[in-house]
Amino acid sequence: MQHRHDMLDTILYWIAGTGNKDTRQIIDPDAVFHGDKIQEYSEGKSSITDLADFSQPAIPLQQLTITNLPDNHDDRLHTSESFLKLMSMASLRDLRIHVEAQRDLHHPVRAPDGSSPFSPGKYKFFNNLYVSWLAPDIAKNLQTLTLHCKDFWGWFPKMDLRRIELPQLKVLSLGRYVFSHQWQIDWFASIGKQNGSGGLEELYLHDCPILYEATHIGPFDTFDPGYPLLKSVLGIVGERETHKYPIRWHAIFSQWARSLNKLKVFHMGRSTYQNSLQDTFTKTHQDVQDKPLRQRIWYDLLEELASPCPSGPVAHSRLEHASNLEGQMTSVKFNQNRDFQMKYIKYNIERERYNAYWPWVHPGEPYECWAPEEDTVMRDDAAYEMLMDAVDSRAINHDDMSNVFNLL
């Protein structure tokens, strides 16, 4: 993990224009370099000794994509001169962050019974995003933002988006973000008030479920109800508590149909890489190691998201309800079949820990439209139809206005 942070620091060092003749440590001693710029040390590390031809002015980045980012907060990186200089660039308008989950060391065999599946560093990472990757100097200029993680996040580890202001944002993509509280629904309406149109224009939700029930170590937070206290979870000393969460998709869609009145593109479902992952593990011999397969499929997704010129159709979309306006991130193919939309999830720390998704629980049968209450699926569908009608109407009007201006 430290190697990744050091490598990222080195990359930012050059982009920010802070390169000079000082020796910078090379992260991977096995890396192959050309020329005579590598010097071997007795302890086996290598360094670049001649950096004169690397010294350059800062590159005025417009888009920055960070993939495989460790889910661990590093104060040294986020307070470094290169990081602060790069992240304060007014030219940086598009930030895409893809977080690599580091739970394999703790899950499931090595984790103590009943403990959190995550390390303390993971909680600190999400809790500090508002002062690191999404600090005010960065967030105030962003027009496009992607936040994806291989693990579910938002509820636990908690990510308080209320700390982040995105006045210029037009496009937001979230991956595996968990909805649980009313404030999350309200927050989307605060985005993009100064972006020229007055609100968020494109929203992409990749495998983002609603949490309807959670069993975790108590006590829970009394100042921000519904969230576990980190000290309780890491201390593993409290009694188990079960909490219910009343948020449902039909309530979210009904509110967004009114509050997100500038939204022209809305895609919700499962990224096609997740379907490939499931098919791969179904058809592959059981003795094949999971992790390399998961990593290869994950990297395929990252290549799509990092494409400099996103384009192309949404895969398997419900065509009559798919946004008509081609969006900024339509290279990210979605399966928008109903069984991949409007999902509900449960968190149970007491669940069998050898399950691949521990401690998350996906209720219902695979490819089933499921909800905690009998009539919720029908209500969710109806609210989704109303939201998409509003979104599609704005998209069509936008296209018509664009055609008029082109004729003038």
pLDDT tens for 93-138 read 999 999 987 654 444 434 444 445 667 888 889 999 999 999 999 9
- Whole-number pLDDT of residue 330: 46
Q: pTM here?
A: 0.77
Question: How far is 164 from 29, CA to CA, in rounded Å?
Answer: 38
In a domain, 41, yes or no: no
Tokens representing 24 are 């910078």
Question: How far is 381 from 374, CA to CA, in rounded Å?
Answer: 13
Residue 364's pLDDT band (cuts 50, 70, 90): confident
Better pLDDT: 122 or 161: 161
Question: How far is 94 from 61, CA to CA, in rounded Å?
Answer: 9
Better pLDDT: 273 or 243: 243
pLDDT at 35 > cutoff 70: no
In sequence order, which residues have a C-beta less than 8 Å from that of residue 226 and are 6 or more positions away?
180, 181, 220, 243, 245
- Whole-number pLDDT of residue 272: 56
- Whole-number pLDDT of residue 398: 61
- Whole-number pLDDT of residue 356: 65
Average pLDDT estimate for 322-335: 52
Chain-centre distance for alpha carbon 324: 24
Helix (H, G, I), strand (E, B) or coil at 109: coil
| Alpha-helical runs (H) found in 81-203 | 81-87, 120-127, 136-139, 182-187
Containing domain of residue 153, as a range?
A: 59-399
Tokens representing 118 are 């995550």
Q: Are 275 and 335 in contact (CB under 8 A)?
A: yes
Q: Are 83 and 54 in contact (CB under 8 A)?
A: no
In a domain, 35, yes or no: no
pLDDT at 159 > cutoff 90: yes
Average pLDDT estimate for 67-93: 83
- Whole-number pLDDT of residue 381: 95
In a domain, 285, yes or no: yes
- Whole-number pLDDT of residue 1: 52
- Whole-number pLDDT of residue 102: 66
pLDDT at 26 > cutoff 80: no
Task: Return the closest-CA partner of residue 17 out of 107, 70, 89, 114.
Answer: 89
- How many domains does the structure of the chain reveal? 1
In a domain, 377, yes or no: yes
In a domain, 49, yes or no: no
Question: How far is 315 from 332, CA to CA, in rounded Å?
Answer: 9
- Whole-number pLDDT of residue 144: 95
In a domain, 299, yes or no: yes
Tokens representing 350 are 């007491």
Better pLDDT: 269 or 1: 269
DSSP state letter for 177: E
Q: What is the DSSP string of 301-357?
A: HHHHHT-SS---PPTT--GGGS-SS--TTTTS-EE--GGGSS-EEEEETTS-TTSTT
In a domain, 149, yes or no: yes
